[in-house]
Amino acid sequence: MRSLVTIGTDNGYVNWVRYPDGLKRNLGSCSVLKLVVETARSVEAMTHALDAFLKDGETVLDADLVRLGELVATPRARWAANPLIDTDQRLEHVTMLKLAYDEFRANADTAEEVLKLAHEVSTAIDEKVAAGKSFNSKQAKLDVHEVVTRTAGILRDTDMVQPWVRGDLMDLHKRATHLHGLFFPASKPQS
């Protein structure tokens, strides 16, 4: 069944389709291009609709409503789609997800602590240089930079739940703590 529908966008962030009865639905993960290509009657209608959408942010299209409904339908939950998964499997899956999240959170907290220590050391180096203290500030800055760069690389480029990440972050934390101790020595206990 074919009918005229309106396809539009709200400031380029949310794309939607308005059915002939006035119902407005978000496109979700379906792009405007895919929707137009798969529901348009002809290449000319497709070209016209896409040009109008790009120009005005809204267009009218004679669309196949059945296919349109399939494209914008909300996907069913994974577990609901497979009733054969038993409760034990679901519980095991949830437990694995929780363990992965706990590992992720612990690694993220460690990385955050490393970056905090490195920031404090970097600030202390700048203050000592400004005060005219004599020390190898270039080497100190390089050491801090190495710790920050390796930590940022782990955060940016890796899956934080990989087994090796914890060990590397703990090594970086140890190094950052050592550098921090050089500039912020612990006060000696009084006897």
pTM over 0.85: no
Q: What is the pLDDT of residues 122-174, one digit of tens each?
A: 999 999 999 998 889 899 999 999 999 999 999 888 888 888 999 999 999 99
6 vs 57: CA distance, rounded Å: 11
Collapsing DSSP states into helix, strand and coil, what is residue 7?
A: strand
**Mean pLDDT throughout 107-115?**
94
pLDDT of residue 79: 53
Instruction: Dump the DSSP string for 21-87.
Output: TS-EEE-TT--HHHHHHHH-SSHHHHHHHHHHHHHHSEEEEEEEHHHHHHHHSPPPPHHHH-TT--H
Which letter, b or e, does each residue of 106-119 get, where b requires 16 or more Cβ atoms within 10 Å of its Cβ? ebeebbebbbebbe
**Mean pLDDT throughout 176-184?**
91
Mean pLDDT score of the chain, rounded to an integer?
Answer: 85
Burial of 104 (0-12, 13-18, 19+ CB in 10 A): middle
Collapsing DSSP states into helix, strand and coil, what is residue 9?
A: strand
Looking at the predicted structure, is the pLDDT value of residue 120 above 50? yes
Q: What is the pLDDT of residues 36-57, one digit of tens each?
A: 988 888 888 888 998 898 888 8
53 vs 182: CA distance, rounded Å: 61
